[in-house]
Amino acid sequence: MAAPLLQLSDIALTFGGAPLLAGVELTVSDGERLCLVGRNGSGKSTLLRIAAGLVQPDRGERFLQPGATLRYLPQEPDFSGAPTTRAYVEAGLGPADDAFAASRILETLGLTGDENPAELSGGEARRAAIARALAPSPDILLLDEPTNHLDLSTIEWLEDELKERRAALVLISHDRRFLTNLSRSTLWLDRGRARRIDRGFASFEAWRDEVLDEEEREAHKLDRKLAAEANWLRYGITARRKRNVRRLEALLQLRQARREHTGPVGAVAMTVAEATRTGSLVIEAKGLGKSFTHTSYGARPIVQNFSLRVARGDRIGIVGPNGSGKTTLLNMLTGALAPDEGSVKLAANLQIARLDQLRTELDPDTRLADALTGGASDTINVGGEPRHVIGYLQDFLFTPEQARTPLHALSGGERGRLMLARAFAKPSNILLLDEPTNDLDLETLDVLQDRLGEYEGVVILVSHDRDFLDRVVSAVIAPERQGRWVEYAGGYTDMLAQRGEGFPQAVPSRRSAPGPSRAASAKTAPRRPAKRRLSFNETHALATLPGKIAALEHRIAALRGKLEDPELYAKDARAFEATAKTLAEAQSELARAETKWLELEILREEIAGS
How do residues 136-193 score in pLDDT, each as one tens digit? Answer: 999 999 999 999 888 888 999 999 999 999 999 999 998 999 999 999 999 999 888 9
pLDDT value at 516 more than 50:
no
The number of beta carbons lying within 10 Å of the beta carbon of residue 238 is 6
User: What is the distance between the alpha carbons of residues 400 and 610, in angstroms, rounded to a whole number?
Assistant: 65
- Cα-flanking dihedrals φ and ψ of residue 3, to 5°? -70, 145
Mean pLDDT of 447-466: 85
User: What is the distance between the alpha carbons of residues 317 and 231, in angstroms, rounded to a whole number?
Assistant: 59
- Cα-flanking dihedrals φ and ψ of residue 589, to 5°? -65, -40
User: What is the distance between the alpha carbons of residues 103 and 112, in angstroms, rounded to a whole number?
Assistant: 8
Q: Residue 122: pLDDT band by 50, 70, 90 thresholds? A: confident
pLDDT value at 569 more than 80:
no
- Of the candidate ranges 26-35, 276-285, 352-361, the one whose mean pLDDT is the lowest: 352-361
DSSP character at residue 263: -
For residue 31, the one-letter residue type is G
Q: Residue 587: pLDDT band by 50, 70, 90 thresholds? A: confident
What confidence score (pLDDT) does residue 1 get?
47
The number of beta carbons lying within 10 Å of the beta carbon of residue 69 is 16
pLDDT value at 477 more than 90:
yes
pLDDT value at 525 more than 50:
no
What confidence score (pLDDT) does residue 528 get?
34
**Mean model confidence pLDDT for the chain:** 80
What confidence score (pLDDT) does residue 243 get?
44
What Å distances lie between residue 385 and 14, 226, 389, 464, 542, CA to CA? 39, 42, 12, 34, 65
Between 292 and 298, the higher pLDDT residue: 292
What confidence score (pLDDT) does residue 517 get?
35
Q: Cβ(15)–Cβ(57) under 8 Å?
A: no
What confidence score (pLDDT) does residue 236 get?
47
Mean pLDDT of 420-448: 83
Mean pLDDT of 81-101: 90
Mean pLDDT of 189-215: 89
What confidence score (pLDDT) does residue 129 get?
95
Residue in 481, 463, 461 with CA at minimum distance from that of residue 595 = 481
User: What is the distance between the alpha carbons of residues 471 and 465, in angstroms, rounded to a whole number?
Assistant: 10
What Å distances lie between residue 376 and 210, 373, 379, CA to CA? 46, 6, 9
What confidence score (pLDDT) does residue 298 get?
59
What confidence score (pLDDT) does residue 509 get?
39
What confidence score (pLDDT) does residue 264 get?
52
Between 568 and 152, the higher pLDDT residue: 152
Q: Cβ(13)–Cβ(19) under 8 Å?
A: yes
Query: DSSP states of 522-589 as a string?
Result: HHH-SS--SS----HHHHHHHHHHHHHHHHHHHHHHHHHHHHT-TTHHHH-HHHHHHHHHHHHHHHHH
User: What is the distance between the alpha carbons of residues 561 and 558, in angstroms, rounded to a whole number?
Assistant: 5
Close Cβ partners of 49 (under 8 Å, ≥ 6 residues apart)? 55, 72, 74
Mean pLDDT of 458-466: 90
For residue 138, the one-letter residue type is P
Mean pLDDT of 289-302: 70
Mean pLDDT of 44-63: 94
Work out the angle between the directed axes of helices 152-164 and 122-134 (0-180°, nearest 10). 10
Mean pLDDT of 303-312: 91
Select from 1.10.3470, 1.10.287, 1.10.260, 1.10.1060 the CATH code of 529-609. 1.10.287
Q: Which CATH fold topology does 6-206 show?
A: Rossmann fold (3.40.50)
Q: Cβ(403)–Cβ(367) under 8 Å?
A: yes
Mean pLDDT of 304-321: 90
Residue in 234, 235, 236, 229 with CA at minimum distance from that of residue 255 = 229
pLDDT value at 217 more than 90:
no
What confidence score (pLDDT) does residue 2 get?
59
Mean pLDDT of 595-601: 70
Sheet holding 315-318, edge to edge: 352-355, 430-434, 458-462, 315-318, 475-479, 485-489
- Cα-flanking dihedrals φ and ψ of residue 56, to 5°? -95, 120
What confidence score (pLDDT) does residue 276 get?
55
For residue 382, the one-letter residue type is V
Close Cβ partners of 195 (under 8 Å, ≥ 6 residues apart)? 187, 188, 211
Mean pLDDT of 430-455: 82
What Å distances lie between residue 336 and 320, 328, 354, CA to CA? 20, 9, 12
Q: Cβ(318)–Cβ(460) under 8 Å?
A: yes
Q: Which CATH fold topology does 281-499 show?
A: Rossmann fold (3.40.50)
Between 610 and 379, the higher pLDDT residue: 379
**Percentage of the chain modeled with pLDDT above 90:** 28
Residue in 77, 76, 52 with CA at minimum distance from that of residue 62 = 52
Between 378 and 7, the higher pLDDT residue: 7
Residue in 319, 320, 328 with CA at minimum distance from that of residue 300 = 328
pLDDT digits (tens, 9 = 90+) for 241-288: 444 455 446 545 654 554 554 555 555 555 555 555 556 889 999 999
Q: For residues 568, 569, 572 and 578, what is the CA-based torsion angle, rounded to 10 degrees? A: 100
Q: Cβ(519)–Cβ(298) under 8 Å?
A: yes
What Å distances lie between residue 59 and 19, 53, 318, 373, CA to CA? 12, 14, 47, 41
Between 324 and 317, the higher pLDDT residue: 317
pTM to 2 decimals?
0.67
Query: DSSP states of 445-490 as a string?
Result: HHHHHHHHHH--SEEEEE---HHHHHHH-SEEEEE-STT-EEEEES
User: What is the distance between the alpha carbons of residues 385 and 370, in angstroms, rounded to a whole number?
Assistant: 18
The secondary structure element, H or E, covering residue 217 is: helix 204-236
pLDDT value at 43 more than 80:
yes
Q: Cβ(199)–Cβ(63) under 8 Å?
A: no
pLDDT value at 532 more than 60:
no
What confidence score (pLDDT) does residue 183 get?
95
Q: Cβ(292)–Cβ(450) under 8 Å?
A: no
Q: Residue 527: pLDDT band by 50, 70, 90 thresholds? A: very low
pLDDT value at 505 more than 60:
no
Between 44 and 41, the higher pLDDT residue: 44
What confidence score (pLDDT) does residue 360 get?
53
Fold: same for 6-206 and 529-609: no
What confidence score (pLDDT) does residue 570 get?
74
Q: Residue 133: pLDDT band by 50, 70, 90 thresholds? A: very high
Distance of CA 78 to the CA centre of its chain: 18
User: What is the distance between the alpha carbons of residues 118 and 131, in angstroms, rounded to a whole number?
Assistant: 17
Any idea how long the chain is?
610
What confidence score (pLDDT) does residue 216 get?
80
- Of the candidate ranges 17-31, 300-314, 345-359, the one whose mean pLDDT is the lowest: 345-359
Q: Residue 536: pLDDT band by 50, 70, 90 thresholds? A: low
What confidence score (pLDDT) does residue 296 get?
46
The number of beta carbons lying within 10 Å of the beta carbon of residue 385 is 9
pLDDT value at 594 more than 90:
no
Mean pLDDT of 563-568: 77
Give residue limits of the domains in the chain: 6-206, 219-260, 281-499, 529-609
Q: Residue 99: pLDDT band by 50, 70, 90 thresholds? A: confident
**Percentage of the chain modeled with pLDDT above 70:** 80
Between 131 and 511, the higher pLDDT residue: 131
pLDDT value at 325 more than 70:
yes
pLDDT value at 523 more than 50:
no
Mean pLDDT of 82-108: 90
The number of beta carbons lying within 10 Å of the beta carbon of residue 475 is 18
Mean pLDDT of 571-579: 81
What confidence score (pLDDT) does residue 56 get?
93
User: What is the distance between the alpha carbons of residues 595 and 486, in angstroms, rounded to a whole number?
Assistant: 21
The three-state DSSP-derived secondary structure of 547-561 is HHHHHHHHHHHHHHH
pLDDT value at 238 more than 70:
no
